[in-house]
Amino acid sequence: MVEISIRKRPLTGIEASASTQKFFKKTARGKVVKVVRERYLRSDISCGSSSCQKCKESHLSAISSKQSNSPTVLLSQKGLANSVVRGNHYLILDTNVFLHQIDLIENPSFTDIIVLQTVLDEVRHRSLPLYNRLKALISDPDRRFWVFYNDFSSETAVLRQTDESPNDRNDRAIRTAVEWYRSHLTLSTGPTSSTRSNLDVVLISDDADNVRKAKEANLRAYNVREYVNGMSNADQLLDLLSARSVGGDSELGGDRRSLLYPEHLPTAQVQAGLKSGVLISGFFNANAYNYLEGTVRTSAFDKPVLLVGREAMNRAVDGDVVAVTILPKEEWKAAADEVIEADSALKNDDAEASDDEGENSGDVDREEARLARKEARDAELAAKSRTSEPQPTGKVVGIVRRNWRSYVAHVDVSSVHDASSLGPQSLFATPVDRKIPRIRIRTRQASNLIGQKILVALDAWRPTSRYPDGHFVRALGATESKEAEQESLLLEHDVPYRPFSKAILDCLPVEGDDWKVPPKDFSNPAWRDRIDMRSEMICSIDPPGCQDIDDALHAKQLPNGNIEAGVHIADVSYFVKPDNPMDAEAASRGTTVYLVDKRIDMLPHLLGTNLCSLRPYVERLAFSAVWEMTPDADIVSVRFFKSVIASKAAFTYEEAQLRKDDKSKTDEITKSIRLLNSLAIKLKKKRMDAGALNLASPEVRIHLDSSESAAPIDVEQKEMRETNSLVEEFMLLANVSVAEKIYETFPMTAVLRRHQPPPKTNFETLQDILKKRKGMDLDVSSSGALAASLDLCVDPKEPAFNTLVRIMATRCMLSAEYFCSGSVARDTFGHYGLACGMYTHFTSPIRRYADVLAHRQLSAAINYAPLHPSLHSKDHVDDILNVVNKRHRSAQMASRASVEFYVGLAITEKNRSAGGGETVGKGEVKLREEAFVIRTFRNGIAVFVSKFGLEGLITFKEECEFDAEEYKVKVPSRVSGLSKDVELGIFDKCLVEIGVEKDKNTKRGKTKMALVLG
């Protein structure tokens, strides 16, 4: 092995002072200490080229030492070839390339790239998601990305000059590094060396100024488009270019066409306006029923601020944070009572039209303006016909923050000009999400993309263009194929689904599946301070097929007449230590995601389904909560401790139920279940008496054929048994008890979960509908009152009605969220739905990260292990919980989308086996189901089919007689095509035909419904 010595030299003079970094750090106990960090410049930082003779030795040592933080894969010997660049070379990319063109750089054609420390730092500072994508590239050995620590090298470190902006300093640092590489490579791989590689470096930047200055310094520099044009697969790569790229034909700026939207205010003006209260800000919500309307919810008004028409929405995209100005009260409007679908309204738009600057640009201008006027008129007409109360109305004047992501979309066939052409053409991609506008992309492979699901990124939305511009990222596969559907719903809901990396898997116990709880020995770390619960009659009760069993229970009679009941939770924090790669991954995944046919785990398989899963007949480490209760389920005491358990049985809800009800069974386990059940009934009664809500969401269960066939065989509504409730009550009890304990010990940083009471105004519409349509009252003064009045919403002729009302009431509520106890006011801790004062999640640490944190805090609260310093920091806990809350929401949406997809398949299958066709509304489709009307519009109704948990929109081709006050619409037979006129109001039942129809333009299957007569 080659020995190397690292020479360090302290800096002198001005360099030394500039290289001293001071910062303040809070210690675990809250003391503030000053940290001074000195930076030593080194002269031995290697260039990373495998052709370099000079750096050869330090490369060898880097490879043999295998430091995890420095990539050990070198830049290739030959470098890259490109038809516009003379000679072979490596690439140095400017920060803006990583920020705007990451989709392009992720293409495998980009290899042998030098990532400067200056650039890496700036990317991290500007965008964490992009930084993570860049880090993934750096750690991929096939890509050969070399990080060069230019700020640590004595030859390339650059100090900021007094009159220089940080940006200019960075640009200069980049050019300095390019210059150094150029001479370093010439000397070490050039003509005088034996390798004669003659390698050079090339700077790629979309900053025209940086390119110009580089060229002036005799360096080689290109913008992204110039360079990509010289690559062998340029045709394919040009599609991936961001619409923000310079030098292209769709270049931004220099646009001479007239404005269709008002310009956005500059950031400084927006900030000043928000500060002075002239402007208000909030999230923009697009209306899924009407593409010409959106709302912004702000704390300034009870009702959301309405935005009517495209101009008022001014290029806001669903999820953006926008700055809004409120119109004078006399201009306020009411929300539309009409369905306006973009698909049909805009079918004649031309994607090329607003892209050409050719001779007919005058025509294009006129056509654009005409469409804009038509839309404005539509929006106005819809607004005029409204009958409900006006609400605050405004318009978007600026963007506070764009929340753009990549969107799953379909190519709109009607926008493809020439399907056989391999030349570039503009076309529309229609996002799967109805709230996202069509995106114009430029592509050379239109013919290949038709009928595919594709991923599209948004780049910009110019005020002269009716549509935003974006670029193609990649194809996901044929529309309706299971693989494409599955991946697209993971992408669409931002669920991380990559396999666990080696660094993460390295955190698992080396014994793998053979890991066992060691023989009892309290000096062994696995047994330290644990209570041996192996002889207790512990069992688990779960849905059928459950593999990740995170909870088990027991109960027994105590000599004093009381009952001991225990909840035992997988001791995940024994295996997942704070701050290692596995912990970081679990924190960023936040939760396990359950799809109908796939589970995306938060923790590696080995833990989730084996070592942490409380399987029967094996010993497992657990975290136990054990109560002494009176026979009336009053708590006498609670203890928390780490334990070793050996579950005696794993039941399904059904098995446990049968066992409990079987009078002939008198074994210990059955007795234990009966005891638990009797306590659970009392616990539940106490909760209900305290005002807990029985909420409902449309839950259906998909039966998959066990064979390889894709089609589900049936859909059924989930059934609830007594034993479901048994498990639920004890989990709730454990979560409440743990919440109290960790809050008592860590009042500033306890990880808790709350459900805030909904604003009363949220229920106004539902209350009015119930009153007018059914003569029923909904009392929303408290959760208890709401629960009681929901119980009274019963239609004896219609058992499903009560569930429907619960579903609608649930939609009026806010969602529950995790929070850090020190970050919100004490009187907002409560959980509205559960009617309890404090709550957390402790019982599912295998599949929820918040529970892992609660375990660590509880573990410290009982003095089992010291608390990791990060869990003493309010900011840190806030940051983690923000991510976890977001992931939790996405996971729910992904699961729902997965169910919907399978419901669609089941419907298609049912129709096919009944010999039906695909066209809905022509009597071809055979599947008919009863549905409830849940919304009425001037030109349509929204219905809910309980059997499938499915909502559908039925639109009529013209306006009907509409009674907004009474929530009724009268549909004449000539409009509906039925044999007689029908009148329908909310909560009425109707018969619908359900089928899956392929959209003509996007080839995508959509569930459609049509009204039929019974």
Question: Which positions touch Zn ion (CB under 5 A)?
Answer: 47, 52, 54-55, 188
Minimum distance of Zn ion from residue 65's CB (angstroms): 18
Q: At what angle do helices 849-861 and 874-913 cross, to 10 degrees?
A: 140
Quote the tokens at residue 492: 């669409």
Nearer to Zn ion among residue 107 and residue 193 (C-beta): 193
- By beta-carbon proximity to Zn ion, the closer residue of 54 and 135 is 54
Question: Cβ of residue 90: shortest distance to Zn ion, in angstroms?
Answer: 11
DSSP letter for 264, please.
Answer: P
Nearer to Zn ion, 194 or 863 (CB): 194
Torsion over CA: 144, 147, 153, 156 (sign):
positive
Which of residues 55 and 683 has its CB atom nearest to Zn ion in the complex?
55
Helix (H) or strand (E) holding 428: strand 425-431
Please say which residue, 5 or 162, places its beta carbon nearer to Zn ion.
5
Q: End-to-end CA distance of the chain, in Å? A: 86
Least CB distance from residue 4 to Zn ion, whole Å? 14
Closest distance to Zn ion from the beta carbon of 94 (Å): 22
CA of residue 656 relative to chain centroid, distance? 36
φ and ψ of 803, to 5 deg: -60, -40
Report in angstroms how near the CB of residue 259 gets to Zn ion at its nearest. Answer: 53
CA dihedral over 479, 480, 481, 484, signed as positive or negative: positive
Taking the least distance from each CB to Zn ion, the nearer of 47 and 680 is 47
Q: In the bound complex, what is the minimum distance in angstroms from residue 141's beta carbon to Zn ion?
A: 20
DSSP per position, 934-952: EEEETTEEEEEEGGGTEEE
CB closer to Zn ion out of 144 and 753:
144
User: What SS3 state is found at 959?
Assistant: coil
The residue (of 193 and 325) whose beta carbon lies closer to Zn ion is 193
Give the separation between CA 684 and CA 637, rounded to whole angstroms: 19
Residue 51 or 540: which CB sits closer to Zn ion? 51
Instruction: Show the beta-strand stretches assigned E in 760-816.
Output: none
Distance CA 560, CA 574 (A): 35
Considering beta carbons, is residue 107 or 186 the nearer one to Zn ion?
A: 186
Identify which of residues 4 and 788 has a Cβ nearer to Zn ion in the complex.
Answer: 4
The C-alpha torsion from 850 through 853 and 859 to 865, rounded to 10°, is: 160
Evaluate the CA torsion angle 432, 434, 438, 439 in order and state its sign: negative
Name the pairing type of β-strands 940-945 and 563-570: unpaired
Cβ neighbours of residue 191 under 8 Å, at least 6 residues apart? 198
Least Cβ distance, residue 44 to Zn ion (angstroms): 10
- Which residue(s) pair with 322 in the sheet? 282, 399
Shortest distance, CB of residue 46 to Zn ion, whole angstroms?
6
**Distance of closest approach, residue 214 Cβ to Zn ion, in angstroms:** 21
138 burial via Cβ count (<10 Å: 0-12, 13-18, 19+): middle
CB 176 to Zn ion: min, Å: 16
What is the identity of the amino acid at 190? G
The b-or-e profile of 546-571 (16+ CB within 10 A means b, else e) is: eebbbbbbbbeeeeeebbbbbbbbbb
Lookup: tokens for 83: 């038809």
Distances (CA, A) of 881 to 335, 587, 849, 993: 35, 9, 9, 44
| Of 53 and 464, CB closest to Zn ion | 53
Distance of closest approach, residue 187 Cβ to Zn ion, in angstroms: 9
Q: What is the DSSP letter of 30?
A: S
CB of 240 to Zn ion, least distance (A): 31
| Two structure tokens written together for 364 | 């294009």
**976 and 990 Cβ atoms separated by less than 8 Å:** no
649 backbone dihedrals φ, ψ, rounded to 5°:
-170, 150
- Render 672-693 in DSSP notation, one character per residue: HHHHHHHHHHHHHHHHHHTT--
Nearest to Zn ion of 148, 962 (CB atom) = 148
Residues 306, 310, 314: CA angle, nearest 5 degrees: 85
Q: How far is the CB of 55 from Zn ion (least distance, A)?
A: 3
Query: Which of 188/670 has CB closer to Zn ion?
Result: 188
How many Cα atoms occupy the beta-carbon half-sphere of 220 within 13 Å? 19
User: Between residues 170 and 188, which has the closer beta carbon with respect to Zn ion?
Assistant: 188
Cα 687 versus chain centre, distance: 33
Which is nearer to Zn ion, 187 or 794 (by Cβ)?
187
CA distances from 189 to 55, 146, 242 (A): 11, 17, 35
Phi/psi of residue 371, nearest 5 degrees: -60, -40
Q: Which is nearer to Zn ion, 185 or 224 (CB)?
A: 185
d(CA 433, CA 660): 47
Provide the minimum distance between the beta carbon of 188 and Zn ion in the complex, in angstroms, as a whole number.
5
Considering the complex, state which of residue 189 and residue 250 has its C-beta at the smaller distance from Zn ion.
Answer: 189
Any idea of the CA torsion for 488, 489, 493, 497, to the nearest 10 degrees?
-80
CB 54 → Zn ion: shortest distance, Å?
5
Calculate Rg over the CA atoms of the chain: 32
Q: What φ, ψ does residue 874 adopt, rounded to 5°?
A: -60, -45
SS3 of residue 993 by DSSP: strand
Look at the block and give the residue holding tokens 């001005």: 14
Extended beta strands in 822-947, E state: 928-937, 940-945
Residue 294 CB, nearest distance to Zn ion (Å)? 56
Q: Which residues pair with 942 in a beta bridge?
A: 935, 953
Minimum gap (Å) between residue 182 Cβ and Zn ion: 12
Q: CB of residue 40 vs Zn ion: minimum separation in angstroms?
A: 20
